[in-house]
Amino acid sequence: MALLACLADALKRERMPYVVFRHPPAYTAQETAAIAHVPGHSAVKVVICVADGQPLQAVVPAHYLVDLERLRLLAGAQTLRLASETEIGALYPDFEVGAIPPFGTLYGHRVFVEQCFVGEPEMVFNAGTHTESICMHYADLAEMVKPVVGAFGVMPRRRVVES
């Protein structure tokens, strides 16, 4: 199975163990988790942000949201916002928008990982397309990416429906 060359080269160069698998198109991290039959806490969502004009990646479990204020403080930034789809396409031209893997350091971008991932035996994330994913251990990802770890992800509240 053909993994995008830029990722395959980086993983090979760093001697990182991983498994790549092909699947039907999945456009959200939660869809990928369901297809891969992994729990949501093992499925990775990569959110691209811009902090003081510099791109960064925020890595959270599929079912989490990013608390932008907590992330701004963790990044030591004056301003932080979500990147637009146009910006994401320009920043990561090798990948499909919405399928960015958590290897921002390959592009000189800081990577921030939600602390709940520390110690996870498996993480599943997009491999740059909506039809391929990578599974690897958190420790291997952390060794390669050297992320900033912190508490900036939040579980969305369930809405109470009144009758």
pLDDT tens for each residue of 44-96: 999 999 999 999 999 999 999 999 999 999 999 999 999 999 999 999 998 99
The whole-number pLDDT of residue 137 equals 94
Q: 161 lies in a domain?
A: no
Provide the whole-model pTM: 0.89
CATH of the domain at 132: 3.90.960.10
Quick check: is 29 in a domain? yes
Q: Which residues pair with 20 in a beta bridge?
A: 134
Residue 71 is assigned to a structural domain of this protein: yes
Is residue 162 included in any domain, yes or no?
Answer: no
- Per-residue pLDDT at 158 exceeds 80: no
Which domain range does residue 62 map to? 5-154
Task: Please choose, from the candidates 92, 24, 107, 28, the residue with its C-alpha nearest in 3D space to the C-alpha of residue 61.
Answer: 28
Q: 131 in a domain, yes or no? A: yes
- Residue 85 parent element (H or E): helix 85-91
Percent pLDDT > 70 in the chain is 94
Number of domains in the chain: 1
pLDDT in tens, 103-129: 999 999 999 999 999 988 889 999 999
Structure tokens at 20: 């790549």
